[in-house]
Structure 1
């Protein structure tokens, strides 16, 4: 441009001399390319980019620099620990004139994954898994955390025991002290009365946060999600027919769990692969107007249990 434009952030000093931990932007919509073990996923992410401002006299940073670096990254690179480290390093370097030495990147997006029905061959549906990536560049090193949210179904063990007791009592009232009962007669009674009482089940959610090594080649988010679903045993379904719904009912009946059980199962499953991790689970109760929650963290992540949705 032929006319020089004023740059107040550069030419003026801050009136209040206080250093700032982070300065930048959030809520930036950007497409990113996720590489999951060679399978590419194009996802729409919401990003936040920030650098520190340690010099209390500097009035402001140059936010357009961060915006351009983020866009260039999204257009040219795949999401991976190494590429994110490179972006963060460039973000900090772009503000060397502000004495910035730290940079932070947060990405929120959904991974869409096609899941097959439990029994019906050829039947499947799409399932969205919310993901948050939090990356910080500090003193030349990367700290990268990934948080995933996984939905599942939970059936209360106490409620199941109480239901079984009522069915047992009804059976005794129906047949009294009869010592020999024909199986067909019992089957007919069960057909009519097995749901005399039913345990309460509810949609539940596990939120898992792990530290991803900076040396990792891939983020392995789907592997983490699969590990969590396998540990819980009753992941939410997509497309179902009656046979699939019946199979899901069987899974729930054979997989009773308190919120405490769910948290312990998930933590045990992921701790083998992620030494630093935390788990939070919430059972959106169908019995109460409030939820049941539990959280746990690994020894190396002690004191940092997930509480975001609890």
Structure 2
């Protein structure tokens, strides 16, 4: 067992002498702790990590070194902008013999948060939000982006207007043009108020923002709260009838096309982030296809293409 093991990466040359932008591993299961106030700190993440390979004559990188660094990071560090910088620097340093100068990390996980009911005191439930963190280290600078998916309800303004017209026509047909008694009207509305109802659907906002290198935290929960506040109709977990009624009121007060949703979210992000991308999808209940809209706002710092995140 003392016989030296072959190391082909060091002893052989590649048949094609070309530099490579990125080399690494994808889909590594890893338990992580988030340095994020107000959320469940422990998550099951899947990690992708890479370094560049600029020297054509070097056949391959040392993937076990990257895996070991990630494993030690998970054991001893909580995820924050500062700790990600440290990890990315170590990834580059571990491949000095490969002349690597850049590193890249992608973390995908579900952020689990407990959310209170709209009205019922003491009632709450758990909601998960898909999150992707992308970090890149190049020439002593961190580029850090966070992408979150937020699910909400959207009620169509056109459908609401058409429903109101049908209700108006039914009211006139029943009561005519003469004076009416308010009690009779109230009873009629109670029986016929749903004569026609607007269509609504579960919808998803995918938001990507650029995080400052000097930020203390990733700020994921604050970002989610900002998005849900802009939309006004986040989906609920545990509900009783009073909460369901409150949710119906929120939908009625926040009628929106897919275009409205994209603009609302982007406008809210502009108050907090210098670069952001928004992609919203309404999973139509009227049609067998979906409605979609997107908006991009670029800041002064580097920001990777949003389309790449959607295809990842």
**TM-score, normalised with respect to structure 1:** 0.96
**Distance 1:40-1:116 versus aligned 2 partners, 3 A rule:** closer
**Secondary structure in structure 1 of the residue aligned to 2:310:** coil
Aligned pair count?
A: 308
Task: State the Cα distance separating 1:299 from its structure 2 match.
Answer: 3.6
Task: State the Cα distance separating 1:40 from its structure 2 match.
Answer: 6.1
**TM-score, normalised with respect to structure 2:** 0.95
Partners of 2:39 and 2:26 lie apart in 1 by: 28
Task: State the Cα distance separating 1:81 from its structure 2 match.
Answer: 0.7
**Secondary structure in structure 2 of the residue aligned to 1:203:** strand
| Equivalent residue, structure 2, for 1:32 | 32
**Distance 1:303-1:256 versus aligned 2 partners, 3 A rule:** farther
RMSD of the TM alignment (CA)?
1.6
**Secondary structure in structure 2 of the residue aligned to 1:199:** coil
Mapped contact 1:112–1:127 kept (Cα < 8 A) = yes
| Equivalent residue, structure 2, for 1:159 | 159
**Distance 1:208-1:39 versus aligned 2 partners, 3 A rule:** closer
| Equivalent residue, structure 1, for 2:114 | 114
Partners of 1:130 and 1:64 lie apart in 2 by: 28
| Equivalent residue, structure 2, for 1:224 | 223
| Equivalent residue, structure 1, for 2:125 | 125
* Runs of 5+ consecutive residues of structure 2 not aligned to the other structure: none
Partners of 1:305 and 1:39 lie apart in 2 by: 26
Listed one character per residue, the Cα deviations across residues 255-287 of structure 1 (whole Å, up to 9, x for unaligned) are: 101111111111111111110111111110000
| Equivalent residue, structure 1, for 2:14 | 14
Listed one character per residue, the Cα deviations across residues 112-135 of structure 1 (whole Å, up to 9, x for unaligned) are: 100011111111100001100000
Task: State the Cα distance separating 1:231 from its structure 2 match.
Answer: 0.5
Partners of 1:153 and 1:27 lie apart in 2 by: 32
The reply on whether 1:145 has 2:145 as its aligned counterpart is yes
**Secondary structure in structure 2 of the residue aligned to 1:36:** coil
